[in-house]
Amino acid sequence: MDRRKFVKSAAIAGAIAAVPNSVWSALSGLSGEDLEQKIKTILPQLSLDEKISLMSGVLANTAKEIATGAFRPGQGHGYTGYTVGVERLGIPRIKCLDGPRGVGFLYKTTCFPVGMARGATFDPALEEKVGAAAGYETRALGANMLLAPCINLLWHPRWGRAQETYGEDMHHLGMMGSAFTRGVQKHTMACPKHYAVNNIEDTRMNVDALVDERTLREIFLPHFQKCVEAKAASIMSAYNHLNGPKAGQNKHLIREILKQDWGFDGFVVSDWGSAMDDTVSAANAGLDLEMPSARFYGDKLKAALDAGKVPVAAIDEAVSRMLRQLFRFVGPDFDRGYSQKNIAGPEHTSLAREVAAKSMVLLKNDGKVLPLAGIKSLAVLGKLARENNLGDRGSSTVTPPYAIPILTGIKKKAGAIKVSYCSGFIPRSRMLAKNADAVVVVAGLNHKDEGEGHDRKKMSLSADQIELIKTAASANKKCAVVLIGGSAITMDGWLPDVPALLMAWYPGMEGGNAVAEILFGEVNPSGKLPIVFPKSEDQLFKFENQALKVKYQGLHGYRWLETKGLEPLFPFGFGLSYTEYQYSNLRLSDRKIGKSGKLIVSVDIANIGKVAGEEVAQMYVGYKGSRVDRPVKELKGFARVALEPGQTKTLSFELKAQELAYYNSGASAWEVEEIEYIVYIGPSSKKDELLSGAFKVEGV
């Protein structure tokens, strides 16, 4: 779906509607018990109609737009969705803008690399800055809720929205998603999405995800809980069904797990348009806000109340939850101190560039083809080198004021090096590659191959791109491929021909500059794969993106491949550098800890090469003698460390016994087993590169 088709003009005018501040200004700034008391005093001042009106958006969409998830911009509001508020009492509107790679999609905002790229930085502190920049821009545009981060784990690499999320691992997703949430919420409300088990596009509106309780709790939910612990103001429900009901009408998911077990005190908003199919079950399950307009709430909710099918308490709860977050985030000074001049200003665009450079993963570099040095001429090949390939054109679309294609970035950095270009005509490409000192082929995917509403049809590159790569590699030994895409790509038949390979993802508005910095060695690559790259699709289980019922077993990604004893093309966590690192001296603070205890795992990392770099070290844990099925090992910690040549640093990871628990569905409880655990530390999940040590959990 290309939402830009719906865009006639960027309608910023009139976007910021002032609200009277009477009651509001008296209340904002309160917290804790005082705030709860005030919410209780404000509730009776609202009529039932007002309360119900607060529970849905007011965007008038046509049926078609609702069905496609599109909305109609240029109608004077300029938001992806909004509520009316209650002017009489000064209760502000909730005003939403997408989304995961920057503020979407009409405004000239900063376009960051996609979520998957940012996942590859393994850098939560940097991700918090990205969140803060997006939060600032949201607020500067007068909106108060950013519909991001997307934290659905990548179940299968062909998921159309793979690029929006951070990867496949729950621990990693939780760290990255909560960092983004904290960043956004320095300014305004964040909305982690899509809760939960949203892993297919083709059938996203009606597929029923069948997931047993243990898999749900261990695989699909932990990262949402991390965002709740980071005090996310809202959570967006998913379109799909979960074990029967729609996810947004699933009482177990919303009322029992999110609100009761995790103590979430924000509000649950439906995904846009087709996330509900029943008024009563949605309201009783705890869905607080229907977006973008009242299809199942509004009059239907009132009728359900009149008929006694929904208690008034459910309405009061929903309204209280929204008021709580509005009080927290939308004070009388909301519009003050935020300038649209800073949107896509130098601070944010240089952050976009830093993130892009840190996200790129060097997958192969035989004969040190990269960085390109000592060359006088360079051939650049491939259509994608010249495109502004920012990623999907669905709800995550961002329209930056400018974007740097890879060819432009290379030309800017090339200096005296003569750059020639061909989009792909084979005879000319061969000739250019032959006559140049080195060749760079840019290949991969774009919004037509993968995106919201449509899954990828295959995991390999197109035949013409493969032919181009093979032509370039046979014409010139110094051949580097730069790959663009939001997920794993298989490389059958061409990878052995190519000495150097850089995964650049969809690198955002500054992407061309960042790619050039890496190719010419100004930046040392440091990204690591946040997903496993399998050799072929056959190594994975079937992607059931046409089925209306999909049963999810407990293994996916690297957990699946390792447990099945399959060697991937590139392992989870893998990424090379222009320098070399050496891991040594793994030590554990304890050999035995209690179930409520923790230990410190330390390791020394040395830069034994000639250039400075940043390394992402990873800690995994395996289980010995568990009474339940467990994967071979799971990521439990990671850290990015900067090292000068010759420098050694010690990294320490804290590991709590509680993080080793499995979910015992019979007892409805997390259980830490009294067994032996193996802890691994190293540069990726690849077994032979990991140092290991063992410890036991015993007693309390």
Q: Which amino acids are annotated catalytic?
A: 271
- Site track 386-425 with ligand BGC (rule: CB under 6 A), x = hit: ---------x------------------------------
Using alpha carbons, list the distances in angstroms from residue 501 to 142, 329, 527. 43, 45, 13
Phi, psi of 77 (to 5 degrees): -100, -35
Asked if 247 and 287 touch (Cβ cutoff 8 Å), the reply is: no
- Site track 520-559 with ligand BGC (rule: CB under 6 A), x = hit: ----------------------------------------
Task: Tell me which of 99, 102, 391, 534 binds ligand BGC, using CB under 6 A.
Answer: 99
- For the bound state, the minimum distance from the C-beta of residue 426 to ligand BGC, rounded and expressed in Å, comes to 40
Q: Which is nearer to ligand BGC, 3 or 358 (CB)?
A: 3
Q: Which is nearer to ligand BGC, 271 or 673 (CB)?
A: 271
Q: Which is nearer to ligand BGC, 272 or 581 (CB)?
A: 272
Q: Which is nearer to ligand BGC, 46 or 162 (CB)?
A: 162
Closest Cα to residue 165, out of 116, 198, 237?
Answer: 116
DSSP reduced 3-state for 549: strand
Asked if residue 193 binds ligand BGC (CB under 6 A), the reply is yes
Asked if 695 and 593 touch (Cβ cutoff 8 Å), the reply is: yes
Asked if residue 246 binds ligand BGC (CB under 6 A), the reply is no
Separation CA 315–CA 664 (nearest Å): 34
DSSP 89-105: GTBPPPEEEE-BTBS-S
CB atoms within 10 A of CB 40: 11
Asked if residue 80 binds ligand BGC (CB under 6 A), the reply is yes
DSSP reduced 3-state for 21: coil
- For the bound state, the minimum distance from the C-beta of residue 166 to ligand BGC, rounded and expressed in Å, comes to 15
Q: Which residue has the tokens 């830093």?
A: 354
Asked if residue 79 binds ligand BGC (CB under 6 A), the reply is no
CA 238 to chain centre: 15
Q: In what order do the strands lie in the sheet with 634-643?
A: 592-593, 691-697, 676-682, 613-624, 634-643
What's the maximum distance between 2 C-alpha atoms anywhere in the chain?
Answer: 80
- For the bound state, the minimum distance from the C-beta of residue 394 to ligand BGC, rounded and expressed in Å, comes to 7
- For the bound state, the minimum distance from the C-beta of residue 67 to ligand BGC, rounded and expressed in Å, comes to 11
Return the DSSP state at 650.
E
Asked if 433 and 471 touch (Cβ cutoff 8 Å), the reply is: yes
Separation CA 687–CA 685 (nearest Å): 6
Asked if residue 69 binds ligand BGC (CB under 6 A), the reply is yes
Asked if residue 147 binds ligand BGC (CB under 6 A), the reply is yes
Give the residue closest to ligand BGC by C-beta.
69
Q: Which is nearer to ligand BGC, 149 or 286 (CB)?
A: 149
Q: Which is nearer to ligand BGC, 10 or 641 (CB)?
A: 10
Q: Which is nearer to ligand BGC, 193 or 413 (CB)?
A: 193
Q: Which is nearer to ligand BGC, 45 or 206 (CB)?
A: 206
- For the bound state, the minimum distance from the C-beta of residue 235 to ligand BGC, rounded and expressed in Å, comes to 12
Separation CA 500–CA 440 (nearest Å): 9
- For the bound state, the minimum distance from the C-beta of residue 69 to ligand BGC, rounded and expressed in Å, comes to 3
Separation CA 168–CA 638 (nearest Å): 15
Burial of 668 (0-12, 13-18, 19+ CB in 10 A): exposed
Separation CA 610–CA 607 (nearest Å): 8
Cα first-last separation, the chain: 54
Beta bridge pairs of residue 98: 147
Asked if residue 203 binds ligand BGC (CB under 6 A), the reply is no
* Alpha helices (H) in 478-603, listed in sequence order: 511-519, 557-563
Burial 454-475 (b: 16+ CB within 10 A, else e): bbbeebbbeeebbebbbbbbeb
Q: Which is nearer to ligand BGC, 6 or 670 (CB)?
A: 6
- For the bound state, the minimum distance from the C-beta of residue 106 to ligand BGC, rounded and expressed in Å, comes to 12
CB atoms within 10 A of CB 58: 17
Judged by CB under 6 A, the number of residues near ligand BGC is: 9
Asked if residue 98 binds ligand BGC (CB under 6 A), the reply is yes
Q: Which of residues 265-294 bind ligand BGC (CB under 6 A)?
A: 271-272
- For the bound state, the minimum distance from the C-beta of residue 602 to ligand BGC, rounded and expressed in Å, comes to 41
Q: Which is nearer to ligand BGC, 268 or 468 (CB)?
A: 268
- For the bound state, the minimum distance from the C-beta of residue 355 to ligand BGC, rounded and expressed in Å, comes to 21
Asked if residue 123 binds ligand BGC (CB under 6 A), the reply is no
Please, which residues have CB within 8 angstroms of residue 411's CB and are 6 or more apart in sequence?
A: 419
The site for ligand BGC (CB under 6 A) is made up of 69, 80, 98-99, 147, 193, 271-272, 395
